[in-house]
A = this chain, B = another copy of it.
């Protein structure tokens, strides 16, 4: 397999994997493309590399910037904007976690909070059981939230190292 084939295969597979995680396939492909590219790329470069439209390229690049996975780079003396991806996979994973935590876990904890205050007599088994379920899920969510928070803050490698040491 030569380098061009390998790159194509990686981009393709990264896209497929992404769809299983609820991420737009093209967005993942743009990400993959920038991940394995030495050079910063313009919207036109991305359009050409992935055979997608300008609107599509623009939209997905901006979405990747929202996730802090891609940065805009301006080349002096050039009107075009160029893009580059965060290459450190630990940071990539942490950024994704951080965004998902903010967008999904936080609202869920809020909802569970409300729902655990359901009206009605706690001696009614149905109500008791439901309130228990909510508390149960809430506790779990809060723990997950806490752990993600700690991991996100701990960006140093020593953390990753010690984490691995403990759990082999």
Contacts and interface: CB of A to CB of B under 8 A. Distances in A.
B2 A115 contact: no
Interface string A101-132: 00110001001001101111000111101100
A133 B33 CA distance: 12
A144 B160 CA distance: 11
A134 interface: yes
Interface of A: 1-3, 6-7, 9-10, 13, 17, 19-23, 35-36, 38, 87, 89-90, 93, 103-104, 108, 111, 114-115, 117-120, 124-127, 129-130, 133-134, 136-137, 139-140, 143-144, 146-147, 150-151, 154, 160, 163-164, 166-168
